[in-house]
Structure 1
Amino acid sequence: MRLLPRRFKKLAYSLLALSILFITFSVTKVIAIDDEIAKTIFRLGVLLSFLLLALTRDKIEDELTLVIRLKALASSFIFGVGYVVVSPFVSWLFDGEFIVEDLGIEGLLLTMFLFYFGMFGLMKRNR
């Protein structure tokens, strides 16, 4: 698996910081922009920065780290598919009160990335 060079982590963190700064300025009305457009730009910036972080190599990248990365990616995918399959049944079971609003594609990808980073960090720590 070919990963991006380590310097892309700085780019990803910068993009994440800019996205957070942008949404902060938008909420405080420093920047006059429609709320939906601001949310979309924020979500895309966060998702792109998470993608860059997930595809960038670590300082020490060996075969075990690659195996851990692939296991975390597979578990994140299984989590996402499981969520999409199970959530309609849970919503039906609780008469739609359990899930307040539809998560959407961006929300699903965000939770999958967060699950990936959590699993990757946990597996890496417990080598």
Structure 2
Amino acid sequence: MAKSLDIPGTCDRVGRRLQVEYGNKPIPAAVLIETIAAECGCPPDSVFLTDHCYNRITNSVRLGHSPVFIYEGPGLFRHVGLGYPYTGPLHHKPKGKGEPKRVVGQWTTGQLKYTYSG
């Protein structure tokens, strides 16, 4: 298979395949990152799973991101795919020490509305 730098598409394909293997259990981040990096031919440190989550976001991702995962807790993700009718908050956890995570948006049946602009 040819390598692809399409990290969002690779996240979806790998996540779908691994979720079948893991069943109802969340997938460990290390397994996802290793498999995604191998399939897209990119370094593992360039794969940021939270860039592809419905309920978690980084500083660099805003409108137009393609979520396929739900963050389940430290190092654990569940693949639900593109277009999932997720309902729940979108959190941002700043990198600075001691800064609390905050709600920056709300998903309602797969539609996102940002609620924080800071």
Is TM > 0.5 for Structure 1 vs Structure 2? no
Q: Indicate the structure with greater helix content.
A: 1
Instruction: Give the number of the structure with larger relative contact order, counting CA–CA contacts within 8 Å between residues 6 or more apart.
Output: 1
Rg larger in structure? 1
TM-score scaled by length of structure 1: 0.27
Q: Indicate the structure with greater strand content.
A: 2
TM-score scaled by length of structure 2: 0.29
